């Protein structure tokens, strides 16, 4: 234990003053600041003392993370030198201690001046729990056939966690259920790169592309005549593949994709390979068609 110098304490207080997500607890504001706000989202209470060196090491890390998470949790600093009775009522017997409040109750506790990595994991766990609550609400909306409500709730969660692929996946699936394929396609193109690279997102992107292409394609006889006249018309092949998929004719669809890959593997950003892998995922690894066309695709990729 050591005393905080006036300069150090001044710096910490100034640091807190510039963050809109960090507050000082008092006996008068604790109920509103912590208990009532915990009905809206997680509130982290940091029990600290200016006389405890580990507390001063922990505090800047917490403030930095509160700012980074951008208001997805509220950070409240409770100085035990001023509010010792309140700290004891909450079972705090060592410093620093962090307690997470949700819906008026303590739901988790972390003791000691942990590293930023440990703190981030501790906080993220509760962010994921919040996300799960939102997803559960959206699923309930879907079960009530209120798809608009489900989309709104998952969209709000996705905006709060733009690099969470699971939220992106749920949102795209809900848009597809509503047959809002153009919106789903636009969304898929604008996700962060980390999300776009997720295998399930890539599969969804391929399926949305198939549906959108099929909606805008000429009839099958016209496409087949085009390919008879111009076998290298890859756009017509892709359109025919898309239509065949909407008809559940996966063998014919994969044959067209295979021909595209053989002629121009980079067509439409390797759409043939991505499309075939999306169909593989749909049909499953044990499907005979999948085994057959995976071998043929591997042969093309090895050339």
Tokens of 197: 């690279």
Fold of domain 125-197: 1.25.40
pTM (predicted TM-score): 0.52
> In angstroms, rounded to a whole number, what is the distance separating the alpha carbons of residues 188 and 299?
30
> In angstroms, rounded to a whole number, what is the distance separating the alpha carbons of residues 106 and 43?
9
Report whether 94 contacts 62 (CB < 8 A): no
- What pLDDT shows up at residue 136? 44
- What pLDDT shows up at residue 105? 92
> In angstroms, rounded to a whole number, what is the distance separating the alpha carbons of residues 300 and 303?
6
> In angstroms, rounded to a whole number, what is the distance separating the alpha carbons of residues 229 and 238?
16
> In angstroms, rounded to a whole number, what is the distance separating the alpha carbons of residues 120 and 103?
22
Say if strands 43-48 and 97-102 run parallel, antiparallel, or are unpaired.
antiparallel
Q: Which residues, at least 6 apart from 255, have a Cβ–Cβ distance to it below 8 Å?
A: none
- What pLDDT shows up at residue 149? 65
- Tell me the domain boundaries of the chain: 6-114, 125-197, 214-302
CATH number of 6-114: 3.40.30.10
The CATH superfamily assigned to 214-302 is: Tetratricopeptide repeat domain (1.25.40.10)
Same fold, 6-114 and 214-302: no
Mean pLDDT in runs of 10 for the chain (303 residues)? 42 51 91 89 91 86 82 89 94 95 92 90 72 46 54 71 79 79 88 87 90 92 96 96 90 96 95 92 85 93 83
The number of helices, as runs of H, and strands, as runs of E, in the chain is: 15, 5
- What pLDDT shows up at residue 46? 96
């Amino acid at each position: 234990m050591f005393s905080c110098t006036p300069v150090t304490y001044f710096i910490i207080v100034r640091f807190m003053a510039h963050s809109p997500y960090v507050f000082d607890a008092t006996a008068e504001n604790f109920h509103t600041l912590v208990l009532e706000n915990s009905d809206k989202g997680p509130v982290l209470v940091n029990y600290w003392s200016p006389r405890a060196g580990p507390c001063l090491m922990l505090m800047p890390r917490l403030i930095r993370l509160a700012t980074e998470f951008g208001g997805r949790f509220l950070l409240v600093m409770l100085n035990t030198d001023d509010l010792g009775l309140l700290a004891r009522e909450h079972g705090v017997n060592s410093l620093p201690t962090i307690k997470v409040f949700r819906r008026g109750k303590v739901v988790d506790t972390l003791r000691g001046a942990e590293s930023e990595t440990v703190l981030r994991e501790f906080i993220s766990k509760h962010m994921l729990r919040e996300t799960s609550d939102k997803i559960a609400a959206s699923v309930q909306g879907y079960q009530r056939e209120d798809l608009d409500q489900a989309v709104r709730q998952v969209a709000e969660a996705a905006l709060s966690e733009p690099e969470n692929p699971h939220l992106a996946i749920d949102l795209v699936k809900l848009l597809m259920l509503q047959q809002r394929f153009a919106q789903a396609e636009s969304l898929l193109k604008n996700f962060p790169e980390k999300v776009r690279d997720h295998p399930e997102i890539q599969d969804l992107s391929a399926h949305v592309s198939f549906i959108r292409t099929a909606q805008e394609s000429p009839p099958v006889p016209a496409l087949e005549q085009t390919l008879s006249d111009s076998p290298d018309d890859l756009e017509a092949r892709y359109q025919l593949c898309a239509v065949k998929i909407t008809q559940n004719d996966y063998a014919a669809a994969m044959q067209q994709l295979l021909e595209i890959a053989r002629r121009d593997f980079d067509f439409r950003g390797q759409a043939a390979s991505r499309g075939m892998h999306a169909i593989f995922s749909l049909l499953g690894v044990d499907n005979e068609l999948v085994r057959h066309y995976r071998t043929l695709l591997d042969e093309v990729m090895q050339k």
